[in-house]
């Protein structure tokens, strides 16, 4: 039964990746009572390239979080190496960081707990249907993997549970659309020295006909392999490792013996879109807003930025009343349009190995071109966060304009 006796938090955050943890830290430091809920047991493996790019680090540094990651022996990025058809192109890529998701996500959760956040892992969270249009709280059902179920209430719910958005299964207004050409994401950690030619600090990407594979040396010396692959190719090969080996061979990259022996984990349909990112007292963050195949850490950069932005939006809303949902929709669209343009172009480019081959030759002849492209990916857009969330009057006017337009 849902009643006024339900346990109450000012903010409940679903999903303990970068978006959820950063939002939780920001809100807890501002004195809010926050619950952070995670479905998996922490620390947990995550299909990811394990790279934090300069945009992500700028956002994390604004919260004084980078020092916590460096204490975990994070590896500094210095170059990007692209392989195709037996050729390679090396592009300087300073300013990034490599850290396994097990270590990074657990570190951010630890900081959140130190800031006063209540953390629950191994709990499935479901956002319940709206009770009344004027309800001043949202109800969330928590199902512990141990078996018990309870309902809690929140002033606001931030949904950062990734591509699946499983916590929104009872809220049909948040349906997502999968792109027909969407690739699958697969990832695994291989033992130390399985790629002796890969230097720490190098992001290596190999491009074949059926997808592309990236690999980096992690903080413990193991090698993270992450790939975006064609679903048809995945079904036609005997195993995931066999497909990865095929792509590496086509690119002329090093072929580890352990590819078929390790356990590969996958995420279906990487490219998804959502047209709705907010409802009354509910905001979607990170991959839950939609996803585009990233290049070198863009997904985590967007997630961290959204975490900070959502927290600042809720805190600003206390100073002056405005339509939070409308303001958040505009912010997500703004962030998406600025951040994802080059990633969409590059993911399309990487799907055509012959085009990559000629682009690689061209890039070697004119090195300034790939360097310029990388600079576009990492261009700072701090105004997306700071300017739009520090002026409550401007936000009020914007949200009022959207509400008026919608009514007409």
Q: pLDDT digit string (tens) for 238-289?
A: 999 999 999 999 999 999 999 999 999 988 766 667 888 999 999 999 888 8
> What spatial distance separates the first Cα and last Cα of the chain, rounded to whole Å?
39
More confident: 42 or 131: 42
Q: Out of 7-21, 141-155, 191-205, 295-309, pick the least confident.
A: 295-309
Token pair for 136: 């001043």
Token pair for 339: 């951040």
Q: Out of 82-91, 216-225, 393-402, pick the least confident.
A: 393-402
User: Which pTM does this prediction carry?
Assistant: 0.88
Asked, for residue 145, whether it belongs to a domain, the answer is yes
Element (H, E) at 338: helix 324-339
Asked, for residue 365, whether it belongs to a domain, the answer is yes
Asked, for residue 46, whether it belongs to a domain, the answer is yes
- C-alpha of 97 from chain center: 15
DSSP string, 187-200: EEEEPTTSSTTPPT
More confident: 406 or 21: 21
How far is it, in rounded angstroms, from Cα 279 to Cα 36? 20
Q: How far is CA 256 from CA 41, 64, 140, in A?
A: 30, 38, 46
The total of structural domains in the chain comes to: 1
Q: Are 57 and 94 in contact (CB under 8 A)?
A: no
* E runs forming strands in 193-318: 202-208, 211-217, 223-229, 265-267, 272-273, 278-279, 282-284, 290-291
What range does the domain containing 147 cover? 7-54+100-178+271-395
Per-residue pLDDT, 177: 76
Cβ-based neighbour number of residue 371 at 10 Å: 13
Per-residue pLDDT, 340: 64
Which CATH number is 138's domain given?
Answer: 3.50.50.60
- Summarised one tens digit per residue, pLDDT across range 93-114 is 889 999 999 999 999 999 999 9
- Summarised one tens digit per residue, pLDDT across range 63-76 is 999 999 999 999 99
Per-residue pLDDT, 328: 95
Sheet holding 177-178, edge to edge: 177-178, 272-273, 290-291
Asked, for residue 190, whether it belongs to a domain, the answer is no
Per-residue pLDDT, 75: 97
Q: What's the chain's average pLDDT? A: 86
Asked, for residue 115, whether it belongs to a domain, the answer is yes
Per-residue pLDDT, 327: 94
Asked, for residue 312, whether it belongs to a domain, the answer is yes
Sheet holding 51-52, edge to edge: 51-52, 97-98, 75-76
Asked, for residue 105, whether it belongs to a domain, the answer is yes
Asked, for residue 238, whether it belongs to a domain, the answer is no
Quote the percentage of the chain above a pLDDT of 90: 60
């Amino acid at each position: 039964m849902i009643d006024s006796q339900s346990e109450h938090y000012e903010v409940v955050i679903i999903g303990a990746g970068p978006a959820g943890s950063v939002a939780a830290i920001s809100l807890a430091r501002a004195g809010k009572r926050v619950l952070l809920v995670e479905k998996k047991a922490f620390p947990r493996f995550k299909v990811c390239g394990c790279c934090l790019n300069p945009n992500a680090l700028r956002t994390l540094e604004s919260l004084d979080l980078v020092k916590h990651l460096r204490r975990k022996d994070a590896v500094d990025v210095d170059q990007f190496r692209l392989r195709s058809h037996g050729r390679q192109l090396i592009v300087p890529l300073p300013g990034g960081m490599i850290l396994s998701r097990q270590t990074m996500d657990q570190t951010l959760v630890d900081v959140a707990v130190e800031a006063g956040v209540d953390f629950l892992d191994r709990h499935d969270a479901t956002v319940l249907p709206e009770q009344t249009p004027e309800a001043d709280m949202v109800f969330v059902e928590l199902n512990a993997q141990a078996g018990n179920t309870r309902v809690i209430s929140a002033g606001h719910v931030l949904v950062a549970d990734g591509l699946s958005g499983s916590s929104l299964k009872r809220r049909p207004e948040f349906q997502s659309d999968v792109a027909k050409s969407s690739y699958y994401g697969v990832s695994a950690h291989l033992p130390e020295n399985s790629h002796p030619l890969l230097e720490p600090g190098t992001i290596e990407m190999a491009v074949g006909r059926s997808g592309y594979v990236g690999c980096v040396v992690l903080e413990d010396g193991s090698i993270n392999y992450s790939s975006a692959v064609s679903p048809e190719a995945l079904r036609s090969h005997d195993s995931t490792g066999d497909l990865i080996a095929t792509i590496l061979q086509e690119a002329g990259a090093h072929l580890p013996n352990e590819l078929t022996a390790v356990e590969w984990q996958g995420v279906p349909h990487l490219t998804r879109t959502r047209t709705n990112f907010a409802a009354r007292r509910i905001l979607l963050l990170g991959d839950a807003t939609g996803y585009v195949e990233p290049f070198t850490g863009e997904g985590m950069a967007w997630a961290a930025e959204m975490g900070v932005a959502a927290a600042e939006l809720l805190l600003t809303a206390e100073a002056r009343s405005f339509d939070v949902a409308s303001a958040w929709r505009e912010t997500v669209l703004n962030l998406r349009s600025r951040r994802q343009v080059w990633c969409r172009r590059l993911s399309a480019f990487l799907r055509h190995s012959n085009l990559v081959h000629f682009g690689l030759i061209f890039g070697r002849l004119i090195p300034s071109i790939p360097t310029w492209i990388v600079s576009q990916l990492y261009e700072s857009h701090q105004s997306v966060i700071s300017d739009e969330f520090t002026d409550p009057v401007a936000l009020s006017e914007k949200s009022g304009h959207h509400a008026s337009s919608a009514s007409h």
